[in-house]
Amino acid sequence: MSGERLAFALAAAVAALFALAILFAAAALARRAFNQRRERRSARLEAGWTPHLLAVLSGDAAPAAWVPQVAAGDRALFVDFLLRFAQRLRGPERAVLAAVAEPYLDDVAHRSRRGGEERRAGAVQLLGALGGARRAATVRAALDDPSPLVAMTAAQALAAQGRAEDAAAVLERLPRFREWSAGFLAAMVARMGAGAAPALRSLLADPARAPGDRAVAAEALRIMHDAPATDAASAALSAGDDADLRAAALRLLAAVGSPADAPAVRAATRSADPVVRAQACAALGALGDARDAEALAALLDDASPWVVLHAARSLKALGGGARLAAAAGRSGAALARQAAAELA
């Protein structure tokens, strides 16, 4: 490249970079001005809507008495405004909000099928919170949206509504959500309430389903304190070889099981997996009896500190304080000593 051309290129680069810097600054300032104007407008509109909505929600005015005059350009703002109330309200008040929102939800339903995934997910969230049973079919359809984000938003919306008839649909799609944490999925599914328990028990008992999905079902049943789930949990514990599933089944048994489940739990204390052994120790504290003290005392020498801690806790719960003290006094039993000191 000749010197002249190089100089020209450098000069062009300088001009372009400074133009770019000015453009970035102008865009940032324009964005700022746009956001501020939108926030001011939104605050003004909401200040007008809020007293009417509160009057309707408190029963001082009938829902039909308030027909908000919402300009076409403000409809999205209005449903977002209602959404914020809907996220905090349940029962009849939620139904009142749904009635107020209904005239605007056709647009939202349309949005749930068009545009980017965040836009579709946002629409599904609105329909779930404000659409009630009338829009449930649209939300259910979103479970099969190609985007996992939209599908998860639909599952969360259906779970929050707590309709038993949606349980099967959500549980069938659990394989779509395998990337999500099991604890999160279990909490979400548990929100469906007692009506979903039979479907969850079936899932836990079904050896054809993936162990991860069954573990989610076990955790959800534990959160729900579902006592009839013990048979399915015992079966999963005895027949399964997946450590996560067995640990989840043990947590479920510890929460809702009975002494009749103790034999399966005792067997699990001999598992090769330390997580399973630790959960078995914890469950034995709830379901076992004084006869288990010897086995628990032996587990105070386990290599896993989690097993030792749970064994120590259970031993103490079953009246084996003296055995725990004796184990702690032995040389080389550092973990047991620490656990005993903590529980003293």
The footprint of another protein (CB under 8 A) covers 3, 6-7, 10-11, 13-14, 17-18, 20-21, 24-25, 27-29, 31-32, 35, 87-88, 116, 118-119, 121-122, 125, 149, 153, 160, 178-188, 191, 223, 305-306, 308-309, 335, 338-339, 341-342, 344
Min dist. Cβ of residue 223 to another protein (A)? 7
Comparison of 235 and 275: residue with beta carbon closer to another protein: 275
The residue count of the chain comes to: 344
Min dist. Cβ of residue 75 to another protein (A)? 16
Comparison of 188 and 229: residue with beta carbon closer to another protein: 188
d(CA 224, CA 215): 14
Comparison of 185 and 221: residue with beta carbon closer to another protein: 185
Comparison of 41 and 178: residue with beta carbon closer to another protein: 178
Min dist. Cβ of residue 238 to another protein (A)? 26
What values do phi and psi take at 251, rounded to 5? Answer: -65, -40
Among 192, 113, 179, 191, CA closest to 145: 113
Comparison of 118 and 231: residue with beta carbon closer to another protein: 118
Comparison of 6 and 54: residue with beta carbon closer to another protein: 6
User: What is the amino acid identity at position 156?
Assistant: Q
Min dist. Cβ of residue 62 to another protein (A)? 29
Min dist. Cβ of residue 19 to another protein (A)? 9
Dihedral of the alpha carbons of 248, 197, 239, 219, in degrees to the nearest 10: -10
User: What is the amino acid identity at position 325?
Assistant: A
50: its two tokens: 């809020």
Q: List, in order, residues 6 or more apart from 259 with CB less than 8 Å away.
A: 287, 288, 289
- Say if CB 67 and CB 52 are below 8 A apart: no
Min dist. Cβ of residue 149 to another protein (A)? 7
C-alpha 209: how far from chain center: 21
- DSSP 8-state symbol, 2: -
Comparison of 185 and 205: residue with beta carbon closer to another protein: 185
- What's 248-278 look like in SS3? HHHHHHHHHCCHHHHHHHHHHCCCCCHHHHH
245: its two tokens: 């599933």
d(CA 112, CA 106): 10
Min dist. Cβ of residue 87 to another protein (A)? 5
Which residue is it, tokens 């799609």?
173
Comparison of 223 and 326: residue with beta carbon closer to another protein: 223
Min dist. Cβ of residue 244 to another protein (A)? 11
d(CA 301, CA 334): 9
